[in-house]
Amino acid sequence: MRVSRFVKVESIISLFVGLIGVSCVFALMNYDRALNVDYKNYESNYNNDWHQFELGFEFLADFFQFFSLSFETFFMSVLFLIAILLFFLYRKPAIMLFALPNLILSSQGFIGTQLRYSLACIIFVIVFRKFHNSRLIYILAPITSVFHFGVILGAMFAIYQKLFFGVSNGLKSKKNVFFSLAFVLGLILLKLVIEYLLVSFGYSYYVGTKYNVGRSLAGTLYLIIALFFIVLLLVSKVKIVYPELVFLSFFVVIFSIVISDFTVISGRYYKLYLLLEPFLLYAFYKQVGRYYKGVPFWLLFLVLSLSKLSTLNLTFSLNF
């Protein structure tokens, strides 16, 4: 009986925290359309029936067009769908609380503006959490790119992890260490090849800081520090919580650091990392932060995560 009551109380708390958190984020996502740099592009595509975006996003648009609904209705519905997906992604109260700073930070510049990419990223993480142990991940992970092709590399990371890693062993396994090093070396080689091709074909402005769009140097430094904490998790002797997400974050962060010269792509995967980071904070707390020797490390990681809010620049001209 006591267990049953505890479960009910926990469910109520989860629902309450989730609804409050998602409602706050939804209000911020639903900001002044005149300040949303992608709104006009989506509106023109919808009203003119251009079908210039990915298949999954266009399928959603076609559904609303079939019923002759306005673009504003479609746009609001997509925002609402994103909010629902975030609720299910961060349904554990502690994780939702850890997620709120990142969600607030990215509510307008990312989630509420780059609708296709934010949809794709959120769906990808949900699918990965659900099917990371299943062979279905080989099919479902790439399928999430129908909302934005930008997550296809994330799908490749998921498949690489499924094929070669025993995630529960962290970096204590020689096999995991070997394939981690292979991943890094492969990325470096790929970067060198891409740089050579870009320069050879006259696209050198995409390389280095001349085309510095997507993320600042501070963002790269932040990821390097975050990588340190991820490695601490993976080498710990204590059982890892959400090991599959910790390893996925490991791949995403390394990728974003290695290709930091390609700031558009690197910046996109930094945004994917922001969605994964709450699980890292939770895992770090469960694995290390509960023990007195680990508390300083966990607090440092938490403060580091919250420090991103210093760059917060939101508009409060909201639409209701």
Domain assignment present for 316:
no
Q: What is the pLDDT of residue 290?
A: 62
Domain assignment present for 317:
no
Put residue 214 in one of left, alpha, beta given phi > 0 → left and psi -120 to 50 → alpha.
Answer: left
What is the DSSP annotation of the chain?
-HHHHHHHHHHHHHHHHHHHHHHHHHHHHSB-GGG-TTHHHHHHHHHTT---S-HHHHHHHHHHHHTT--HHHHHHHHHHHHHHHHHHHT-SHHHHHHHHHHHHHHIIIIITT-HHHHHHHHHHHHHHHHHTTSTTHHHHHHHGGGS-GGGHHHHHHHHHHHHH--GGGGGGSHHHHHHHHHHHHHHHHHHHHHHHHHHHTT-GGGSGGGG--S--HHHHHHHHHHHHHHHHHHH-SSPPSSHHHHHHHHHHHHHHHHTTTSHHHHHHHHHHHHHHHHHHHHHHIIIIITSTTTHHHHHHHHHHHHHGGGG------B--
Q: Is the pLDDT of residue 206 over 60?
A: no
Domain assignment present for 320:
no
Total structural domains within the chain:
1
Domain assignment present for 218:
yes
Q: What is the pLDDT of residue 266?
A: 85
pLDDT, tens digit, 9 for 90 and up, residues 264-310: 788 899 999 999 999 999 998 887 766 656 678 788 888 888 888 88
**In degrees rounded to 5, what are phi and psi of residue 3?**
-65, -45
Q: Is the pLDDT of residue 312 over 60?
A: yes
Domain assignment present for 197:
yes
Q: What is the mean pLDDT of the chain?
A: 88
Domain assignment present for 82:
yes
Per the CB < 8 A criterion, the answer to whether 101 and 306 are in contact is yes
Domain assignment present for 11:
yes
Over range 104-113, report the average pLDDT: 93
Regarding predicted confidence, which is higher, 83 or 316? 83
Residue numbers of the domain that contains 23: 2-311
pLDDT, tens digit, 9 for 90 and up, residues 128-180: 999 999 999 999 999 999 999 999 999 999 999 999 999 999 999 999 999 99
CA distance 112 to 103: 10
Domain assignment present for 318:
no
